[in-house]
Every structure is written in structure tokens, then in C-alpha cells.
Chains A and B, each alone.
Chain A
Amino acid sequence: MLASLLLSVGIITLISVVLSLMMVVADATIGNYGIVNVTVNKETQFEVEGGQSLLKTLMSEGIFIPSACGGRGSCGLCKVTVLEGAGAYLPTELPWIDKEEQKQNIRLSCQVKVKNDIEIEIPEELFLVKEFSTTVESIKDLTYDIKEVRLKLHDPPEIEMKAGQFVQFEVPEYELTDEPVYRAYSMASVPSDTQHVELMIRLVPNGICTTYVHEHLKEGEQVTINGPYGDFFLRDTDRPIICIAGGSGMAPIKSILLDMAEKGSKRKARYFFGARTRKDLFYVEEMGALEERLHDYKFIPALSEPQEEDNWEGEVGLITDVVHRLTEDASGSEAYLCGSPGMIDACIAVLKDLGMPEEHIYFDKFS
């Protein structure tokens, strides 16, 4: 009885090993797809060696699709329309692609493998996305866990961006990763300074990119970024704006407000910035000083748990409570929010309660 059981286990194991070996051999031989044609927006066509993901294939041709997870299928950002040649949807795509998007042939480009001729459509603005080689000009501690990294662009030497957009930062191989990975960060710099990009990066315990930036990155080092990406930017209207941020969510809001100041914007603006204690606050003077440069602007930092030693005389409470307390009517305004999903959701609820239509609320959610 025992002998026959062991024999059965042995046979099953042997079959599994043989099948695994066949898959490895098949991948190395049948998986050689040769040269395939990629057509983008009916106009651009190029030949590539098949077998890579669509995301990496496009990247190798200088076309950068936004992705915050480096192509692991965990951020859902790298969507493109594939008109032909992608095959059936993979289970790894479906959590990110709803039924409506499936009807429009939207695919997750990091999961689609280029095996044969393929035709895709991407937004025209993605052709403006470039890869930049840069040098770290300075690294500054904004708080105990947020660093500001200022990059000087070299090749190409200038970036054309809208205030509020983000770039992808390439983390090279180091102790936490044996291959380059990409992470997305909003730019804090003003668009007119085309030769620099500033990022604000908060340490995430054991995070691959944030650990690299906080513990390994040094001034003078080379860094590769690509961008700009994103549709979080100031809309061209006359509505008063309400900006709300916390922590590293300061970055895109700072960029937007500095850009408004440079352009002589006359729009009314209120900037609510939430922190727990004084040691979590930064750029208070700089953001406050904009009151001199903007027509009708107020910076309202608020502490949720001020300490005695903070000697804080400003607003106290969660930022949502402060917004609610200091805003009478938001029905004619629009809002720009940047922070954690919990913070964004709470802010949206408050703004709607203050009469703001949801379609006038723009946000950069860290999710």
C-alpha cells in the first residue's frame, strides 16, 4: 500500500518536472517571436524584436507610458488602447480594466506581450514624454522623513511641463533591487525653471525607491527620470481655487502656486496644509510669502496635535475641519488636492458639503 502510494507520488513528481522542463525549453525556443511591427496612432511605425512587454517595447523606442510600479501590474497606470495584435485579456489585467474599457480595447501595457504585429493608440501628449539624464544638485531634509531632491537636467537639458504633473524616477540596482525600478513623484519645481526638477520624497519603511533616496542617494550622483505625466494641473478658468495638501502632497501644489505667481494670476486662492506638529511642517515661510505676490491668496497651515513647545498660534484641527470652518461657500470654486486616499476622500466629502460640484474637484491620489 505504502509502496504504491510512494510510486504514485514519484510518477506525479516526475511528470511535473518533465512538464516544467518543456515549458522552459518552449519559452526559450518557441518564445522567439522574431521581428514584429508596432504601429502607434496610425502614423508612427517601427520594428522591434518580439517577446518583451508592450510597456518595455515602447520604452525602448523612446515612448514612455506612465507606470508607478515599474511594470509589475500593480499600479494600473500604464493603460493603452490596443487596436490589434494583443490577444485575449490576461487575468492580471482584469482587476484594472472595467467592462467599458474592455469594449474600448484598453489594455495594461506592462502585461501585454508583443508577440506579433501590433497596433496601438496613445494620447498625443505622451510623445512629449522624454527620458532625462540628470545630476542630483542638492538633497535637503524638509522634515525628519521628507527629503527634497533637486535635479539638474543634462540630456535633454530642458523639460516642458505643466505645474502639478509628475515624473518617474529610476532607481538603479542596489541592495533592495537587482533590476532598475521606477516610481512616480510629483514635481515641486516651477515650470519656468526648465533646467531643474524638484521632488519631495517621504520615506516609506522598506520602500525600494524611498529607501534608496533617503539612505543611498548623494549629491552629484546621476539619476534618470522620465516624464512629464499626468492630468493634475491648474484648469484654465477664473474660479477661485482651494488647495489642500499634507506631507509630500505639498509638491504639486507648490508648483501650481509658484506658477500662478509668476504668471500674475488674479485668481483667488486658499492653500490649506495639514500637519500633526510643528516638526511636520515645512515651507511655511515660502508659501506664506506668496501672499505678497498673488492677488488674493492666503496660506493656512494647520496642526492636528500641536505640542506645547510648538508655541503654535495658527489653526488647530484636522485639515478637513479647518477647511470646513474657514470656508463659507465653495459652490463657485474649484479644488486641487494632493495626499493619501483617506485624506482625499475626506476632503471631497467636506468640499461637496460646502457646495462644490464634484467635477470641480481635481486630485492627485497616492493610490
Chain B
Amino acid sequence: MKQSPEYDHIQQQMQPGVITLPGFLGHDKRNLIDILIEDEGTVLRADTSHQKIAERMQYFRDAGVDGLGEFITLDDTFDVRVDSVRGKLPSPFGGPGMFDKVNTTVVNKKLDKEITFTDLHIHFVRDHGFYEGKGSPFRLEPLDLIHILQVETA
């Protein structure tokens, strides 16, 4: 699918070495718009929305801060750790400001599965429905997020 010059520019910002060393697209050679459309389809078929996923991510992120960098138990089912590494990153979509490199790790003890996401990911999902390209080291599979975080579905 053709995409706008704005998306071309954003996709350029996502290339390796521009903002981060590995970039945000992995080995995914598709247009950004196609990546977004496919992931949106996955989310809609799961009877939920980017907004609900982002809200759930934010919930764990906010609650996990109380652990002061260590894991804490949350809602009996989850272990959550919010930790940071040095540095800040801008969004390749432009605005809003810089994001601290804050990692939230959520372990779903019932499923015995875990997932790690950053503050930048929450912005990606909430504001752009972006989960990174296939093969990106920080790609989040929407279905993994939905299952592990137990995101509300219709």
C-alpha cells in the first residue's frame, strides 16, 4: 500500500543507526503503513484495541514503580519490575519529548510467560498502534501483550 511522505520520513527515522543502533523495523521491509495495518487487524480480531493494550501496559508500569527497581507481586498473578538504564530516546514519530529508557517486565505466573516493554513502547501502542517491525529485537507481538497482560477483550 502506498504511504504518505510523512510516513516515509518516520520510516526513515526508524532505520538502524538513526535513533537507536538496531532501529525499530528489524528485517521487515514492508512500508510502515502495512506494518501498522497488519498489527491493527491482529488487535481487532482479538476483540480489543491499541488503547486498551496501552492502558494495561501503563497500569503495570505505574504499579511496578513501587518496587523501587525490584520485582513486586501484583494482583497475585503477576510479578512486575520497573527498571531503568542510562539514557533517553526520542520517538521516531516526533513529539512528545524524550522518553527515559524505562523497562517494565511483567511475568504472568499462571501462564509462566513474561514480556518486557519500555515507556517508548507504551507511546508507540497508545498513539500510533505501532509494535515495531518483524525481527526487531524489541518487537512486541500484539497477541503476546494481550495474553500475558490479560488485556480486556470485548
Contacts and interface: CB of A to CB of B under 8 A. Distances in A.
Interface of A: 68-70, 72, 74-77, 95, 176-177, 179, 181, 183-184, 202, 204-208, 246-247, 249, 274-276, 280, 304-305, 318-320, 339-343, 346, 366-367
Contact of A246 (B22, B70, B86): B70
Contacts of A176: 21-22, 137
Contacts of A340: 68-69, 82-84
Contact of B87 (A75, A179, A320): A75
Nearest to A280: B70
Contact of B86 (A68, A208, A280, A342): A68
Contact of B69 (A74, A77, A343): A343
27 contacts: A68-B86, A70-B21, A72-B19, A72-B21, A74-B19, A74-B20, A74-B89, A74-B90, A75-B87, A75-B88, A76-B87, A176-B22, A204-B85, A205-B105, A206-B116, A274-B70, A275-B70, A280-B71, A304-B68, A305-B71, A305-B72, A319-B68, A339-B68, A341-B84, A341-B100, A366-B84, A367-B100
B68 A246 contact: yes
Interface string B11-50: 0000000011110000000000000000000000000000
Interface in B60-97: 65-73, 82-90, 97
B69 A247 contact: yes
A68 B87 contact: yes
B143 interface: no
A318 B66 contact: yes
B100 A342 contact: no
B116 to A, nearest CB: 4
A184 B84 CA distance: 13
A348 B90 CA distance: 27
Interface residues of B, number: 32
A95 B72 CA distance: 33
A34 B60 CA distance: 53
B21 A177 contact: yes
Interface string B99-139: 01111010000000000100000000000000000000110
A367 B84 contact: yes
Nearest to A211: B137
A76 to B, nearest CB: 7
Interface of B: 19-22, 65-73, 82-90, 97-98, 100-103, 105, 116, 137-138
Contacts of B84: 340-342, 366-367
Contacts of A95: 88, 90, 97-98
A247 B70 CA distance: 8
B68 A343 contact: yes
A176 B70 CA distance: 26
